[in-house]
Chain A
Amino acid sequence: MSTIKLQNLTKRFGDLVAVNNVDLNIDAGEVLCLLGPSGCGKTTTLRMVAGLEMATEGDVFLADKRVNDLTPSQRNVAMAFQFYALYPSLNVAENLAYPLHADRLSQADIDGKVREVARVLDLTDVLNRLPGRLAEGEKQRVSVGRAIIRDPNCFLFDEPLSRLDVQLREQMRGQIKEVLSGLNKATVIVTHDQLEALTMADRIAVMRDGYIEQVGTPHEVFATPSNLFVAGFIGTPQMNLMAGTFAGQRSGSLRLKTGEQEIAIPSSVPHAGLTEGGRVTIGIRPRSTELASEAGDDTLTATVDLIEPMGAETLLHLSDGDRDLRVVVDQDVMVRVGEQLHVRPRASQTHLFDQNDARIA
């Protein structure tokens, strides 16, 4: 079984803790995305799985075997590098065949596999070219091809799409997902691009400063972010996060105070952890709102500062003097700068975080 298991994995560079006590399980056939801002330790984690970095503490298990002391070649992992790491003096076919030489296959077998991978990744026409004469997208496909051509314990991808332009990225996301779905191997993809993670991953591990903040399906990390960092990191435009206080629970809704305004959020669950006057952070996604025709119990009032048309939707920057509020409305909603709007968060899509940034609701 091709699985990856990380236990208390820690990496220190001198005083700097790059990766802190990471525990992860990745099943066969599962695609896990390590997502986080640059410098969060995601690449270091990947390199420890590959064996390119030695873990300071903790264990790496590949296919249920502890591999801490094995070299990368002994671990039998396939990896696609961020800068592709194509061998510049070898042509595409030789690059693709490179990982096969260790298996001592016959030349005919090697040629067959190369042709097969080239066909899947649409590289047949460029097999004789040197990497220096490939387009960026082709290089990227060769690096993926070099990873999938053999039968490793697991697949590791380090920022596989970061150097492609937007259009190519969308195309390759689908292609990689399709290729990986047929392989039934544990796969780790490192990325800083949340869209990449949300589209390609079965599960996402959000990292910050060496810690894993949340592990969950793309839906889980988006819909129920476990803390303020995940809430702010996932989703574009960014979630509105407003400091406020808890003003009590009344008739099936929580009352919150932010600045001068009070808002009621429908919620049937009693929240024991909240005391009246306790500090909270209110999180509202710009798309989880609607405009109300008049002020109500459950609306916030703000004036339009800036209008950003985004095609199908329009992003409105609102302000009530102290707080900014971003709201996404349909393109056919006509507003003017300076206009006063009443914004109603959609029921049960408002997030609450306590003083320690952890999720309450």
Chain B
Amino acid sequence: MTAVTSDATGTPRWLTPSPRNWRLALLIAVVAIPGSIWLAPGNVAFWISFVAVSAVTLAVTINAWGRYPGPLLVAPAIALLFVMNIFPLMWSFGLSFFRFRVNRQAPPRFAGLDNYEKILTDPTVWDRLQTTALVVVFTVAIQMIVGFLLALLFEKEFPGRRVLLMLVLTPMMLSFVAVGAFFRFYYEPTFGLLSQAVRLFTGEPFILLKTPAGALAGIVFADAWMWSPFVMLLVLAGLVSVPKYLYEAAEIDRASWWRKFRTITFPYIRSLLLLALLFRTIEAFKLFDIVFLITDGGPGSSTETIAVYVFRVSFQFFRTSQSSALAYFILFIVIVLTNLYLYFARQRSQEA
């Protein structure tokens, strides 16, 4: 630490003005930014903060130039990650302990665990969680079954397999908005494909999204359509990893189809199935886009999943801090679910 003090003048090195003295720049920024926010009008404070941050960045960059090329190269990515992800995450976590509305001028007031208490006692939250659970159970079950059957189909070589495989994988690569819009038109009562098809038989237009059950089915179908290929891809990877000679040996040993599946195929795909189940459960739990686009939570609030509810609380009711608390509550549930799965997966693999 002796290197910190400089030679001739006796002033410490971190106070010597120099383009590479990032410590000094940081010190100025730490003083200048809160000071300007406190004292200066908004637009002036913004520019002062901007200049301060730029100066720190510049000083750090000049200091690291040539000396730490590795850290310098990853720094932009880390900075972006911090600004776009980590900082908002921590900020919203902090907010969840305050009383704050983003559309009011009032500064945040500390509220302790009030927000958490409010959401945990809110019957709406539990109702939305039930809706979410319904969607999760149905969509994940259908995805697993359809994905699995598709994988069994695509395991075999047949003409046109590659092209068909590509087509089957397309839904997964579409954007949520495209899928949502597509199914919205698909279920549309007057010219939608589904309604038209039903009208051929009944003569009446068919409004799928009219009833709560129909709307739920519509959402589940759209989500399953989009994500079954993902399950298929994982299962297919497991299926092709089974050595062919095991099937040959089983054939020699006159094993039935079911026995082959149970003793050879399934052990190879079990861990991948669990992985697919885990991914899809977490994703389905956070399901927002498709619901928002197809039913917007309707009819009534019968298909409003917890994610849609969070959106409403934060951007329609503008209860910002309460929605932060809710978001962290959901994160907690997802983490618990994840760890449960991992626990079971690990236990199974230890048995094997």
Contacts and interface: CB of A to CB of B under 8 A. Distances in A.
On whether the two chains bind one another, the answer is yes
Interface residues of B, number: 17
A85 B249 contact: yes
B264 A87 contact: yes
B156 interface: no
Interface residues of A, number: 24
Contacts of A85: 243, 245-246, 248-249
A253 interface: no
A216 interface: no
Contact of B263 (A71, A77, A89, A102): A89
A102 B245 contact: no
B263 A90 contact: yes
Nearest to A72: B251
A102 B251 CA distance: 11
A299 B242 CA distance: 61
Contacts of B249: 79, 81, 85, 87, 146
Contacts of B254: 73, 76, 99, 102
Interface string B134-178: 000000000000000000000000000000000000000000000
B251 A52 contact: yes
A143 B253 CA distance: 12
B157 to A, nearest CB: 16
B352 A89 contact: yes
A98 B252 contact: no
B267 interface: yes
Given A50-B252, A89-B264, A98-B255, 16 more contacts: A51-B251, A52-B251, A52-B252, A72-B252, A73-B252, A73-B253, A79-B249, A83-B243, A85-B243, A85-B246, A85-B248, A87-B250, A87-B263, A98-B263, A99-B252, A99-B253
A78 interface: yes
Interface string B232-265: 0000000000010110111111111001000110
Interface in A47-81: 50-52, 71-73, 76-79, 81
Contacts, number: 59
A130 B352 CA distance: 8
Contacts of A88: 246, 267
Nearest to B253: A99
25 contacts: A52-B251, A52-B252, A71-B251, A72-B251, A76-B254, A78-B252, A81-B245, A81-B248, A81-B249, A83-B243, A83-B245, A85-B243, A85-B249, A87-B246, A87-B250, A87-B264, A88-B246, A98-B253, A98-B255, A99-B253, A99-B254, A101-B259, A102-B255, A102-B256, A130-B352
A52 B253 contact: no
A62 to B, nearest CB: 13
A333 to B, nearest CB: 49
B251 A73 contact: yes
A150 to B, nearest CB: 8
Contacts of A90: 263
